[in-house]
């Protein structure tokens, strides 16, 4: 459980930045080179590479080098961590609202 928490923290930290979310969004359409990705963001290539390394370090993307071209690929499986966490939160809150609804309904039926 502790490892899951650390991994989830890393993914959320990576996704907290709008540039990194933009990279994830763009890679959702398919793999692309770092150079092409970098052109979509108003920063220097070294600054952009910090974002790429962060995303790669959390496993959200992977890069593959062919000759001089480094291509970024989205790791959709890693996004499953977020999806699983959100599903659990949704379940918890639905149970809470269901209990609240039963409480209110019971009070209305038995004043």
**How do residues 18-29 score in pLDDT, each as one tens digit?**
999 999 999 999
Mean pLDDT for 29-44 is 96
Query: What is the structure's pLDDT at 2?
Result: 63
Helix orientation angle between 2-15 and 45-57, rounded to the nearest 10 degrees: 160
| CATH at residue 13 | 1.10.10.10
pLDDT digits over 74-96, tens only? 999 998 888 888 888 888 888 87
Q: Does the structure show a pLDDT above 80 at 108?
A: no
Question: In the structure encoding, which two tokens stand for residue 84, read together?
Answer: 């699983």
The total domain count for the chain is 1
Q: How far is CA 46 from CA 7, 10, 96, 108, in A?
A: 25, 21, 47, 63
Host domain of residue 81: 2-109
Mean pLDDT for 27-35 is 96
Query: What is the structure's pLDDT at 1?
Result: 60
SS3 61: strand
Q: Does the structure show a pLDDT above 90 at 63?
A: yes
């Amino acid at each position: 459980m502790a490892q899951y928490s650390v991994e989830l923290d890393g993914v959320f930290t990576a996704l907290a930045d709008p540039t990194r979310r933009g990279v994830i969004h763009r890679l959702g359409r398919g793999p692309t080179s770092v150079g092409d990705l970098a052109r979509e963001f108003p920063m220097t290539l070294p600054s952009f590479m910090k974002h790429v390394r962060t995303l790669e370090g959390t496993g959200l993307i992977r890069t593959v080098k062919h000759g001089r071209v480094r291509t970024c690929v989205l790791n959709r499986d890693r996004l499953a961590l977020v999806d699983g966490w959100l599903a659990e939160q949704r379940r918890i809150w639905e149970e809470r609202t269901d209990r609240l609804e039963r409480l209110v309904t019971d009070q209305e039926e038995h004043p």
